[in-house]
Structure 1
């Protein structure tokens, strides 16, 4: 009896399965943990192999080899069907992990759209299931494929327009001329790509969601504003008077554009005359999403800057700094700060200038030595300081009666920027006239020195707190 057991083939199959299954599970578990630590895409195929294929394969061998169950038995067919299906899923998962999920950037494998992968997976599963039912269960699947083929032809002829759009969309997706998040300028709309499906591309525009069929994009030319990366530029055309010096106009436009917060810092702005009183300003921006905000701010700032420099934007001019307005500003704002009497005020009025700045404009730049003092007549000004990582933090705010440029007397560079929070009206007094007033009242120099140190100390404290 014992000799018959050892000479039977089923005994060795049973012992092999009893030993091989635990050993295989332990080995696959260690492999699974190692792949998970490396965040490998092969974790899912190995998990399928460990949790499903290995136990089912052991069960199938146990039935057919150890227990000698006939291959035509229902239990063997059911287990064999499960094993074949898991092998099919494992094959698809392994191919997807090795070819597509781990594909290097820029290769054809990385550019293959998910739709193509899904369609291919569906076809492989359909063919695999047909083969499983044919070889394991003996089913006749040829009639099913014939019926499916005839049905596909009928559906294709009925829906040829829709199918054409789908094919156009698939071909365009394979080429990948754009990705989600890119900005497109098409013949029908301009916006950001938020969705791409088999039939259409969805663009988020300023007026709503624009649905553009893939066949329209595939048959027309369009511009991808987001590619190449870091090359997007905004072009703005302005008109000035023929009497305005072109060099002065271009310098003013370039200076205003350079102060825009949306400007890409690694590229320079460029302004040039086009003839017939027109000027073109090219502004490099980080993203097409900033076009609207940057253009609005630029045109607003140019309006104020042109009037400050006596230029005629759109061939229009205007007189803002009248002697009466300057006298009123000197009397209410400058005189209390500089402690000016009536005679001093009358002497200063011809040498003072009244100017306006738009919201967001720069009144003072970090690192420059002021050539004049600036007194705020109306509006608010925000003082900013730069941290080590390049970000700006708010140091303080000045409102009516405040002043900037007090370091003009000590010839010290300012440590922060000053931006207009809203429309700001200021009075400028040149350095030599401030010196004259200070010589008449030496205590002012001490007060200015104290103000400079207080602001610097406050700025250092704010910057230190921001860096911690």
Structure 2
């Protein structure tokens, strides 16, 4: 026994028998605490507890306790395994230290995973080469030289393909755009749906356009989603040179500002470049809303231009302007107004037809109308604008009146919008007043209709828990 302690191997046995279990228990407790806190350091410590410590203990047992010769195969095998595990532990610790808690937007956060994996593979290869050279006495210089020559030959043979991959990796690292951004690149405009090593996939609306990374890296492109903030949806429009420019510009702004896609805090802008040419810019949330905003805008503008008698795209032809259309409409509104044969002539001289596109505002809230509209075809929706939202509470169908508050000289409480393509007969207030004077029943019906709509609005607000006084204050 005395010889055992004098040789030193007994101390190693006692140290391993006591120290290794204690160290494992301590590591287990520390790992448990870190896991509960979601700390990434738990990963390297788990590798240390499960693999590195047992392998190190076995190596110490063979080399120092049993005192096996260093050139024995089992000692070298265990030393190799232990060295490999130490390399993995160091790489895992560096990975946690550099990337686990990287701040969003920093270079550590932006660096592609493939770069990290390539660097890790290179370090593992170098570490293993040094390990085999130290433990087994292997000559790795020739192997490294052969690998270098082979990589050069492969690189020259695949330079085009490798160039595309390198371009993709550089794009992934720089991150000039991300998934969901809108790009105007190489004549392709659309939303980025995928980015890989070789190419960028762009949804253009007519399919997926695949743009090679080498093309993007060698040319300029526009990221329409950066910087974040309002995006201007722009479109050119043209009118006849006979249309007064200021009146046309006022119409263009009126239609643009009524769009639900427009940012509430930003107004649209219009510029006139002469010869009947105009440019309209509509602020929207982003490029994703631009297409729908412009589509709705141009369709609403078509109807509005014909209501004003302007020649959009040089054409002011409106089928509703044909006299026969108004005569046919009189048969629709006759029951509503209790018309007699002698009333038709006066109405034909003062009334006219108008048409509205889907979603277009027929009558805004908060105004005193100076005319009354009667639905000939289509359907209108009555809604209340409350806290930035629109609450629908009634509809106006064929033969119904719109703008009855013109008769009571009160401001409208609701906004009326076209739920379908809507055609109405527009009658001046004076003409309607003349009809009411000779038809007490018409006045009563209009009053009942107005009270019914007010009751529907009040009931709708009550059902939503909104104070009825909010309606009366409008």
Alignment TM-score, normalising by the size of structure 2: 0.85
Aligned: 1:290 with 2:293: no
- The aligned residue for residue 33 of structure 1 is 36
Equivalent residues of 2:59, 2:78 under 8 A apart: yes
Rounded to whole Å, the distance in 2 between the matches of 1:415 and 1:171 is 59
Given candidates 400, 421, 434, the residue that maps to 2:419 is 421
- The aligned residue for residue 89 of structure 1 is 88
Q: How does 1:269-348 map to 2 (within 5 A)?
A: 269-319=268-318, 320-333=320-333, 335-348=334-347
- The aligned residue for residue 240 of structure 1 is 239
Rounded to whole Å, the distance in 2 between the matches of 1:395 and 1:76 is 86
Equivalent residues of 1:32, 1:46 under 8 A apart: no
SS of aligned partner of 1:88: helix
Rounded to whole Å, the distance in 2 between the matches of 1:146 and 1:176 is 35
CA shift, 1:413, in A, is 4.5
Rounded to whole Å, the distance in 1 between the matches of 2:140 and 2:394 is 80
- The aligned residue for residue 379 of structure 1 is 378
Distance 1:332 1:126, change over 3 A: same
- Consecutive unaligned residues of structure 2, counting only runs of 5 or more, are 467-474
SS of aligned partner of 1:301: helix
- The aligned residue for residue 169 of structure 2 is 170
Q: Which stretch of structure 1 is more off in the superposition, 101-110 or 297-306?
A: 101-110
Rounded to whole Å, the distance in 2 between the matches of 1:58 and 1:343 is 114
- The aligned residue for residue 451 of structure 1 is 452
Given candidates 22, 25, 28, the residue that maps to 1:19 is 22
Deviation per residue, 1:68-125 (Å, 9 max, x gap): 5555555554554444434333433333333234322333323323332232222222
Alignment TM-score, normalising by the size of structure 1: 0.86
Equivalent residues of 2:230, 2:283 under 8 A apart: yes
Distance 1:365 1:48, change over 3 A: farther
SS of aligned partner of 1:91: helix
Deviation per residue, 1:272-316 (Å, 9 max, x gap): 111121010011222223333322222221111100011111121
Equivalent residues of 1:374, 1:429 under 8 A apart: yes
CA shift, 1:464, in A, is 4.6
Deviation per residue, 1:162-203 (Å, 9 max, x gap): 233333333333332222221111233222222222332222
SS of aligned partner of 1:266: coil
Deviation per residue, 1:348-375 (Å, 9 max, x gap): 3433221011223222334444443322
Q: How does 1:129-144 map to 2 (within 5 A)?
A: 129-144=128-143
Rounded to whole Å, the distance in 1 between the matches of 2:271 and 2:81 is 73
Distance 1:100 1:410, change over 3 A: farther
Distance 1:21 1:171, change over 3 A: closer
Rounded to whole Å, the distance in 1 between the matches of 2:160 and 2:329 is 72
Equivalent residues of 2:245, 2:272 under 8 A apart: yes
Q: Which stretch of structure 1 is more off in the superposition, 56-65 or 202-211?
A: 56-65
SS of aligned partner of 2:23: helix
Q: Which stretch of structure 1 is more off in the superposition, 3-12 or 376-385?
A: 3-12
Rounded to whole Å, the distance in 2 between the matches of 1:457 and 1:341 is 36
SS of aligned partner of 1:223: strand
Deviation per residue, 1:22-63 (Å, 9 max, x gap): 1221122112212x2xxx444534443444444544555555
SS of aligned partner of 2:321: coil
Aligned: 1:222 with 2:221: yes
Distance 1:347 1:188, change over 3 A: closer
SS of aligned partner of 2:234: strand
Equivalent residues of 2:34, 2:41 under 8 A apart: no
Equivalent residues of 2:404, 2:446 under 8 A apart: no
Distance 1:148 1:302, change over 3 A: same
Distance 1:22 1:241, change over 3 A: same
Equivalent residues of 1:386, 1:463 under 8 A apart: no
CA shift, 1:425, in A, is 0.7
Rounded to whole Å, the distance in 1 between the matches of 2:397 and 2:261 is 26
Distance 1:69 1:340, change over 3 A: farther
Rounded to whole Å, the distance in 2 between the matches of 1:125 and 1:387 is 64
Rounded to whole Å, the distance in 1 between the matches of 2:82 and 2:370 is 85
Distance 1:139 1:414, change over 3 A: farther
Distance 1:59 1:321, change over 3 A: farther
Rounded to whole Å, the distance in 2 between the matches of 1:264 and 1:327 is 42
SS of aligned partner of 1:292: helix
Q: Which stretch of structure 1 is more off in the superposition, 184-193 or 80-89?
A: 80-89
Equivalent residues of 1:253, 1:281 under 8 A apart: yes
Equivalent residues of 1:29, 1:50 under 8 A apart: no
Distance 1:450 1:376, change over 3 A: same
- Consecutive unaligned residues of structure 1, counting only runs of 5 or more, are none
Q: How does 1:98-109 map to 2 (within 5 A)?
A: 98-109=97-108
